[in-house]
Amino acid sequence: MINNLCIEYGECIDVDDPSIDITKVYLFPEPSKLAEDGVEQKLKDLGFGYRARYIEKSARLLGVLSNDANVWLESLRAITYADAKKELLKLCGVGPKVADCICLMSLDKMNAIPVDTHVMQVATRDYVKSGIFLEILKGRKDSESDLERAKEITKTITAAKSVTQNVYSSVNEMFNMIFGSYCGWAQTILFVGDLNRPENKESEEPKKKENKEKKTVKRESEVDSKRPKRKKI
Q: Which domain holds residue 29?
A: 2-75
Query: Active-site positions?
Result: 97
Question: Over 80: is that where the pLDDT of 226 sits?
Answer: no
Kindly state whether residue 84 falls inside one of the protein's structural domains: no
Confidence class for position 214, pLDDT limits 50, 70, 90 = low
- Tens of pLDDT, residue by residue over 141-162, are 889 999 999 999 999 999 999 9
Q: What is the CATH classification number for the domain harbouring 34?
A: 1.10.340.30
Kindly state whether residue 92 falls inside one of the protein's structural domains: no
Q: 206-230: b or e for each residue (b if 16 or more CB lie within 10 Å)?
A: eeeeeeeeeeeeeeeeeeeeeeeee
Q: Across the chain, what does the average pLDDT equal? A: 88
Do 71 and 6 share a structural domain?
Answer: yes
Q: Coil, strand, or helix at residue 12?
A: strand
**130 vs 215, which has greater pLDDT?**
130
- Tens of pLDDT, residue by residue over 53-109, are 999 999 999 988 888 888 999 999 999 999 999 999 999 999 999 999 999 999 999
Confidence class for position 233, pLDDT limits 50, 70, 90 = very low
* pLDDT of the residue at 27: 94
Kindly state whether residue 128 falls inside one of the protein's structural domains: yes
Single-letter residue type at 224: D
Q: State what percent of residues in the chain have pLDDT above 90.
A: 73
pTM: 0.78
Residue 33 DSSP label:
G
User: If we measure between CA atoms, which residue out of 36, 46, 39 comes closest to residue 3?
Assistant: 46
Cβ neighbours for 12, distance < 8 A, ≥ 6 positions apart: 24, 25, 26
Total number of domains in the chain: 2
- Which residues on neighbouring strands pair with residue 25, listed in sequence order? 13
- Tens of pLDDT, residue by residue over 158-204, are 999 999 999 999 999 999 999 999 999 999 999 999 888 777 666 55
- Count of C-beta atoms within a 10 Å radius of residue 124: 17
Kindly state whether residue 83 falls inside one of the protein's structural domains: no
Question: Over 50: is that where the pLDDT of 227 sits?
Answer: yes
